[in-house]
C-alpha cells in the first residue's frame, strides 16, 4: 500500500502516452495486434480509476500521425477496434458522467471511424464528471503549425492584431482549445521522450515515466503516479513558488 492520496491536490488533467503494446506482445510470443487488444482492455480500468480519484480531464495518446506508417493490417485492426469499443462502451461511459472529446486532425481518417467518434462526442457532450480526451490522428508539431496557419489567416483578414496575440489566444487555436494544460504526464514502457505529444501544453507539466508496458499498467499504478506527483513542488519557472492546489 502506498501513501494516502490527498484528494485536495489531485491533478486536474492527466495525460498518458500508452506505450509498449507491441513490446508486451513480443515478450509473450504474441502478435502485435494482441498487444493492442490488451491495451484497449486496460483503458477501461484507468478511466474508472480516474473517476474514483476525481481527475477532471484524462487525455490518452491513442493514435499518432506517425502510426499510419505501421503495417496496414495493424492499422486496420486499430481502426476497427476503435469503432467497436466506442459502440460497446459508450453507454456505460455516459452513465458514469464521462464526456468524450477528440483532439487531432480529421484528414485521412476513414469515414466509419469519424462517424463513430462524432457520435460519441455528441452523445456524451452534456456530461461533466470527466472529460476523456482522445488524441487521435494527432501530432504536436502539426498541431502547432495548424494553429499558426489559422492565426495567420485571421491576421490577414484583419480579424486579429499581431501585437495582440497572447499565449491564451494561441492555445485557443490548438486541438485542445478549452482544456487546461496537463498537470501530469505519464508514459509507460520505460521510454523517456514525448514523441510529438502535446508539445505546447506540457511546458510546465510534471513527468512520470513508468517501466511497465501499457497492458500491465493498472489503476494502482495510476494512483502511485499521483502520489509521486503530490510530493513534488510545482514552480512554473519561479523560485520557491508554493505548490498549487488543484482542488
In a domain, 138, yes or no: yes
Mean pLDDT, residues 86-100: 94
In a domain, 245, yes or no: no
Work out the pLDDT band at 234, boundaries 50, 70, 90. Answer: confident
Task: Give the pLDDT of residue 237.
Answer: 65
Mean pLDDT, residues 23-36: 95
Nearest Cα to 147, choosing from 168, 175, 166, 167?
A: 175
In a domain, 224, yes or no: yes
Q: How far is C-alpha 48 from the chain's CA centre?
A: 15
In a domain, 68, yes or no: yes
Judged against a pLDDT cut of 50, whether residue 243 lies above it is answered with: no
In a domain, 235, yes or no: no
Strand partners, 18: none
| CA–CA distance, 119 with 16 (Å, rounded to integer) | 24
Number of structural domains in the chain: 1
Q: Which residue has the cell 507491441?
A: 22
Q: Which domain holds residue 115?
A: 7-230
Task: Give the pLDDT of residue 218.
Answer: 97
Gap between the terminal Cα atoms of the chain: 24
pLDDT digits (tens, 9 = 90+) for 160-206: 999 999 999 999 999 999 999 999 999 999 999 999 999 999 999 99
3-state SS assignment for residue 80: helix
Q: What is the CATH number of the domain that holds 78?
A: 3.40.1180.10
In a domain, 117, yes or no: yes
**CB burial class (10 A; 0-12, 13-18, 19+) of residue 198?**
buried
In a domain, 21, yes or no: yes
- Per the prediction, the chain carries an average pLDDT of 93
Work out the pLDDT band at 242, boundaries 50, 70, 90. Answer: very low
In a domain, 225, yes or no: yes
Catalytic residues, by residue number, are: 19, 67
Amino acid at each position: 500500500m502506498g501513501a494516502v492520496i490527498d484528494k485536495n491536490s489531485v491533478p486536474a488533467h492527466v495525460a498518458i502516452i500508452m506505450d509498449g503494446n507491441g513490446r508486451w506482445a513480443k515478450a509473450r510470443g504474441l502478435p502485435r495486434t494482441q498487444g493492442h487488444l490488451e491495451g484497449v482492455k486496460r483503458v477501461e480500468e484507468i478511466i474508472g480509476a480516474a473517476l474514483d480519484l476525481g481527475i477532471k480531464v484524462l487525455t490518452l495518446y491513442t493514435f499518432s500521425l506517425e502510426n499510419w506508417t505501421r503495417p496496414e493490417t495493424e492499422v486496420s485492426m486499430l481502426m476497427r477496434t476503435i469503432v467497436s469499443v466506442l459502440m460497446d462502451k459508450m453507454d456505460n461511459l455516459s452513465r458514469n458522467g464521462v464526456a468524450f472529446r477528440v483532439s487531432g486532425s480529421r484528414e485521412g481518417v476513414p469515414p466509419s471511424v469519424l462517424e463513430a467518434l462524432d457520435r460519441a462526442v455528441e452523445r456524451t457532450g452534456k456530461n461533466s464528471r470527466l472529460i476523456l480526451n482522445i488524441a487521435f490522428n494527432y501530432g504536436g508539431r502539426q498541431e502547432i503549425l495548424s494553429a499558426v496557419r489559422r492565426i495567420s489567416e485571421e491576421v490577414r483578414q484583419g480579424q486579429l492584431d499581431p501585437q495582440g496575440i497572447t499565449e491564451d489566444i494561441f492555445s485557443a487555436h490548438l486541438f485542445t482549445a478549452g482544456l487546461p494544460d496537463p498537470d501530469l504526464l505519464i508514459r509507460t514502457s520505460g521510454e523517456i521522450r514525448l514523441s510529438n505529444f502535446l508539445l505546447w501544453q506540457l511546458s510546465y507539466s510534471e513527468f512520470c515515466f513508468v517501466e511497465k508496458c501499457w497492458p500491465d499498467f493498472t489503476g494502482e499504478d495510476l494512483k502511485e503516479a499521483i502520489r509521486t506527483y503530490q510530493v513534488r513542488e510545482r514552480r512554473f519557472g519561479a523560485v520557491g513558488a508554493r505548490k498549487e492546489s488543484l482542488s
